[in-house]
Amino acid sequence: MSAPVTPDPWTALRRHTPARIALGRTGASLPTSEVLGFALAHAQARDAVHAPFEAEAAAAAMRALGLETLIVDSAAPDRAAYLRRPDLGRALSEAGRAALAAQAARAPGSCDLAIVVADGLSSTAVHAHAAPLVEALLPMVREAGWRLGPVVVARQARVALGDAVGELLEARLVILLVGERPGLSSPDSLGAYITFAPKVGRTDAERNCVSNIRAEGLGYDAAAFKLAWHAREALRLGLTGVGLKDESDLAALQTVTPPRSVPAGSRSPTG
Amino acid sequence: MAYRATLGGTTWTFETLADLMAKASPPRSGDALAGIAAASAQHNVAAKTALAEVPLKTFLTQALVPYEVDEVTRLILDGHDAAAFAPVASLTVGEFRDWLLSELATPAALARLAPGLTPEMAAAVSKLMRNQDLILAASKCRVTTRFRNTIGLAGTMAVRLQPNHPTDDPAGITASILDGLLYGCGDAVIGINPASDSLNVLGDLTRLMDDLIRRFEIPTQSCVLTHVTTAIQLIERGAPVDLVFQSIAGTQAANASFGVTLDLLREGLDAGRSLGRGTVGDNVMYFETGQGSALSAGAHHGVDQQTLEARAYGVARAFEPLLVNSVVGFIGPEYLYDGKQIIRAGLEDHFCGKLLGAPLGVDVCYTNHAEADQDDMDSLLTLLATAGVTFVMGVPGADDVMLNYQSTSFHDALYVRELLGLKRAPEFEAWLERARIVGADGRLAPRAAGHPLLTAGAGG
């Protein structure tokens, strides 16, 4: 006897959305194949959260692009503390602070733009996308004549860690690349947060975000274009955040407001 | 004044009522993050023991968040109904738990009592209740609301159809809506979390849902979950807005972080009602809440997150909402660490909301950085359904591809209906039957490729 699964005669609608529609059913329940498919997607997302961040490899990839690098830790000692204590992930470790201060003392006032590579909630995303994105961004940085500080690779880091880094490097602007909260269908999505005049205490309302950078989302060239556009406008206007509306070519470059920074009160922020 | 409990020769002291409430809370990461949690298991039980002795009426004179600085406190205390409170006015928190679980607490008595209770009283008693107490007491609370259908009747559970798409693509959203309707979901609301905040996009999404609802004469309502000020703008531009949405929290400062005040919510309510689009009622507001939002905004005043969550329901009920839901596992493991904490919080939120008279639904959900999985969600969904939850979410395959978290699915709703015999809102259930989507028993009917909804979808 054949399996009692009832297929849905609207699988053609799947071409319109990545959502899990037309799954079919057995009685009221999901078919076995869908239960297993979901379990695999969840396992991938879980592993993306907990996969160790290969900071040395990330730094080596940046050096291969001809960039100086510096590896720092946040104040969160491990992944468990990182997940429970967002405040620790936003602060630098003592050693990290000292290393950045020493760097700034060596070359004071030499940094227009600081780039921070942070593991965030998906080291998988950082491993996959950080270096290709920076590679796409570099020609635009050079054309604009912005002086780059060392690329700071930060472990157990949240978005606001960029404020501490940027402040110590005396950067005019910080771009922080971070592994976004992994979804079942997007375990490797990279986000980029741009903050003018970074200093500890900046709020998320004072940043702009380019989100969903990954193969199935926003491509490297398009994301780099958006980042350069925001950087240029931020330096021209002297601000980032709600006062800087994204007017880069919306038609050609689809962007998505990230869940965490939905400012319209659609969902509570997780910072 | 300080509160004390002596257990096994050790005397524990709690300096303030807020401290006592925080220490009496079942453990959760958010209170630890705030530095207000009990230091040990015995510390927690000592606080519960002391809290059980506190007279309920104490909460009318000792504000946890100062009256002078917080309009939510003023709303709660100024709006307190002393006559409704009278039946329990002489009870302590511990005695109130006993009362709630007794035969005295009938559905009618609980409905009369609701305006006499403050959120702090509800939160306090919940801290002394086990999960089964939260389920049983909540199951006796009935809150019924209406717009184009009737939500909250005994023996029913509604579902919000949540057809989100990462780029708000109209065809993609339509595909998810059709999938949900064909799975018998959507009586609470068809509600989109938009990725965009462009007024044009939001207006288009509003019209997309309105067209579908009118074309197929579906007795339900739509909502684009955007800021209340945006909804007011959409209404001014003539968009067919059914429900006005807003995220709210339990303190004035946390609400300020969402960009809202009570006056602004009143404006939203008035704007929504001005359109007169409801056919069987005028409950036009849809609120979302979640434990941890006040701490996240640095606006918690040293009060535990569960008490502040109950205060959010105190805000909600003042605006006669159609729907209120706690996004219980959405905010992240820094507030609710694992499946156990999420399950406990979901039951607390549902109980407190219902006791206060709010039409409480729960987004049974988790994020991928929480220590939780589908098994935990199955447990919470089943428990809430037995507790009489007003509505839950319906997300295709439980995977929200825009908000990046897992909620409950269309299949999950079918599961609890099958298990517990729960019906949909009656107007919607009748429509499903007329549309041959379900049979007379409420179960899905055999699939037909030529269903009118699908021929509509092919064009979209």
Window 175-194 of B: residues touching A by CB (8 A cutoff) are 175-176, 178-179, 182, 193-194
Spatial CA neighbour of B36 closest among B292, B326, B310: B292
Q: How far apart are CA B433 and CA B454, in angstroms?
A: 16
Residue A6 lies in a domain: no
Q: Name the nearest CA neighbour of A207 among A147, A271, A252.
A: A271
Judging contacts by C-beta atoms under 8 Å, the chain B residues touching residue A246 are none
Where in the sequence is the domain holding A231, given as residue range(s)? Answer: 65-245
**Average pLDDT of the residues in B172-177:** 98
Predicted pLDDT of residue A249: 57
Q: Residues B3, B317: contact at Cβ < 8 Å?
A: no
> Which of A16, A181, A210 is the best mutation test for B, with the most CBs of B within 10 A?
A16
A38 with B407: CB under 8 angstroms? no
Q: How far is the C-alpha of B450 from the C-alpha of A120, rounded, in Å?
A: 47
Question: Strand A69-73 and strand A151-155: pairing?
Answer: parallel
What distance in Å separates residue B148's CA from the closest CA in chain A? Answer: 23
A47 in any annotated domain: no
pLDDT digits (tens, 9 = 90+) for A217-262: 889 999 999 999 999 999 999 999 877 877 775 434 344 333 333 3
Quick: pLDDT tens for A6-61: 999 999 999 999 999 999 999 999 999 999 999 999 999 999 899 999 999 999 99
Looking at the domain assignment, is residue A168 inside a domain? yes
Q: Do A84 and B194 touch (CB under 8 A)?
A: no
**What would the pLDDT profile of B387-437 be if each residue is shown by its tens digit?**
999 999 999 999 999 899 999 999 999 999 999 999 999 999 999 999 999
Instruction: Decide if B174 and A45 are in contact by the 8 Å CB cutoff.
Output: no
pLDDT above 70 covers what percent of chain B? 99
N residues, chain A: 271
Instruction: Name the domain count of chain A.
Output: 1
* 3-state secondary structure (DSSP) of residue A158: coil
Which of B166, B258, B288 is nearest residue A212 as measured by Cβ atoms?
B166
**Across residues B184-189, what is the average pLDDT?**
98
- The CATH number that applies at residue A192 is 3.40.50.11240
- How far is it, in rounded angstroms, from Cα B91 to Cα B86? 10
Asked, for residue A2, whether it belongs to a domain, the answer is no
Query: What rounded mean pLDDT belongs to chain B?
Result: 96
A197 and chain B in contact, CB less than 8 A: no
pLDDT computed for residue A216 by the predictor: 83
pLDDT tens digits for range A38-52 = 999 999 999 989 999
Are the beta carbons of B417 and A28 separated by less than 8 Å? yes
Q: What is the pLDDT of residue A186?
A: 85
CB-CB: which of A7, A17, A121 is closest to B175? A17
Residue A262 resides in a domain: no
Q: Which tens digits make up the pLDDT trace of A172-224?
A: 999 999 999 998 988 899 999 999 999 998 988 789 989 889 988 889 999 99
A49 is a domain residue: no
- Quick check: is A15 in a domain? no
What is the C-alpha separation between A126 and A133, in angstroms, rounded?
A: 10
Look up residue B213 and give its two tokens: 């609802």
Phi/psi of residue A90, nearest 5 degrees: -95, -10
Q: What is the pLDDT of residues B371-398, one digit of tens each?
A: 999 999 999 999 999 999 999 999 999 9
Residue B107 · residue B144 · CB < 8 Å: no
Instruction: Compute the average pLDDT of residues A63-92.
Output: 95
Number of Cβ within 10 Å of residue B298's Cβ equals 11
Q: What is the DSSP letter of B165?
A: -
8 Å CB contact of A29 and B414: yes
Neighbours of A36 (CB within 10 A): 11
Give the contacts of B370 (CB within 8 A, at least 6 positions apart).
Answer: B329, B332, B333, B336, B337, B338, B339, B342
**Would you tell me how many other CB atoms lie within 10 Å of the CB of residue B340?**
16
Q: Is A80 on the interface with B (CB under 8 A)?
A: no
Q: How far is Cα B272 from Cα B285, in angstroms, rounded to an integer?
A: 8
% of chain A with per-residue pLDDT over 90: 76
In this prediction, residue B443 carries a pLDDT of 96
Whole-model pTM?
A: 0.91
What residue has token string 């060596």?
Answer: A106
Degrees, nearest 5: CA angle B130-B309-B356: 75
Confidence label for B195 from pLDDT (cuts 50, 70 and 90):
confident
Residue A3 sits at φ, ψ, to 5 deg, of -65, 140
Q: Nearest by CB to B411, which of A25, A254, A269?
A: A25
Residue A239 forms contact with B (CB below 8 Å): no
Rounded mean pLDDT of B338-354?
98
Tell if the CB–CB gap between B449 and A9 is shorter than 8 Å. yes
B/e letters for B364-397, b = 16+ CB within 10 Å, e = fewer, are bbbbbbbbbbbebbebbbbbbbbbbbbbbbbbbb
Flag whether pLDDT at A67 surpasses 60.
yes
Distance from CA of A37 to the nearest CA of B (A): 11
Residue B69 CA: distances (Å) to CA of B64, B126, B299: 11, 26, 12
Average pLDDT over every residue of B312-327? 98
Residue A72 has pLDDT above 60, yes or no: yes
Query: Under a CB-based contact definition with an 8 Å cutoff, are residues B106 and B138 in contact?
Result: no
Does A33 reach chain B within 8 Å, measured CB to CB? no
Cβ(A268)–Cβ(B326) under 8 Å? no
Question: Is A4 at the interface with chain B, CB within 8 A?
Answer: no
Residue A126 domain-assigned (yes or no) = yes
Q: Which pLDDT does position B447 carry in this prediction?
A: 78
Pairing between β-strand B145-146 and β-strand B150-151 as defined by DSSP bridges: antiparallel
- Please name the member of A28, A183, A270 whose beta carbon is closest to the beta carbon of B415: A28
Query: Which run of H or E residues covers position B42?
Result: helix B41-52
Q: Give tens-digit pLDDT for A115-135.
A: 999 999 999 999 999 999 999
Q: Residue B237 is encoded by which pair of tokens?
A: 């531009």
What distance in Å separates the CA atoms of residue B73 and residue B62, rounded to the nearest whole number? 11
Residue B65 has which token pair? 């968040």
What residues contact B102, with CB distance under 8 A and at least 6 apart?
none
Chain B residues whose CB is inside 8 A of the A84 CB are 29, 32-33, 333-334, 337
Could you give the percent of chain A with pLDDT greater than 70?
A: 90
A42 lies within 8 A of chain B by CB: yes
Instruction: For residue A156, list chain B residues with Cβ-Cβ distance below 8 A.
Output: none
The residue among A1 and B384 whose pLDDT is bigger is B384
Q: Report how far apart, in Å, the C-alpha atoms of B52 and of each of B1, B125, B229, B310 are.
A: 16, 8, 42, 18
